[in-house]
């Protein structure tokens, strides 16, 4: 049986949690936004990680987030099993997410993008360090 390194398992666990949270948030935006209202309250915008999203776009953004959340879990399973494609896929999604979070930090909100950005950096670092320890 292949023994997994502690950093790899920790990075995968963080990705499972992040993917599940993103999936639930996506479902909330997908199902909670309709007819100019979000969860029953009238509004023009909802905030996703600090970025204002028009209420009409929230269901589409929610669907994308739900799918990406599921993809994160699938890629984390691949990475944990030693497949480089999983690790590379997670890195690509992480870089794209970081670009969006940096944009939000600079132009939309001054603090709320920082916790998810830190989570992504730590999870990816653990996955890469864990992979190196496992193969080295």
pLDDT (tens digit, 9 = 90+) per residue, 44-73? 877 776 677 888 888 898 999 999 999 999
Q: Looking at residue 85, what is its pLDDT?
A: 94
- Domain positions in the chain are 6-128
Q: What rounded mean pLDDT belongs to the chain? A: 86
In Å, what is the CA distance from 97 to each residue of 5, 31, 37, 100, 132? Answer: 26, 23, 26, 5, 24
Secondary structure in 3-state letters for 60-105 = HHHHHHHHHHHHHHHHHHHHHCCCHHHHHHHHHHHHHHHHHHHHHH
As a whole number of Å, the end-to-end CA separation of the chain is 17
Residue found by looking up tokens 């309250």 in the block: 41
In Å, what is the CA distance from 30 to each residue of 4, 55, 96, 114? Answer: 36, 10, 21, 24
pTM for the predicted model, two decimal places: 0.85
Q: Looking at residue 1, what is its pLDDT?
A: 44
Q: Looking at residue 107, what is its pLDDT?
A: 81
């Amino acid at each position: 049986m292949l023994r997994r390194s502690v950093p790899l398992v920790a990075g995968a666990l963080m990705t499972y949690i992040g993917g599940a949270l993103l999936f639930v948030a996506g479902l909330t935006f997908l199902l909670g936004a309709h007819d100019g209202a979000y969860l029953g309250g009238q509004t023009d915008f909802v905030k996703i990680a600090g970025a204002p999203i028009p209420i009409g776009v929230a269901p589409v953004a929610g669907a994308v987030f739900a799918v990406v959340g599921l993809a994160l879990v699938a890629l984390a399973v691949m990475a944990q099993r030693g497949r480089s494609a999983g690790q590379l896929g997670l890195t690509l999604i992480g870089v794209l997410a970081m670009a969006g979070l940096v944009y939000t930090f600079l132009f939309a909100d001054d603090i709320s993008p920082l916790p998810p950005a830190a989570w992504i950096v730590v999870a990816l670092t653990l996955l890469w360090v864990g992979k190196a320890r496992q193969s080295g």
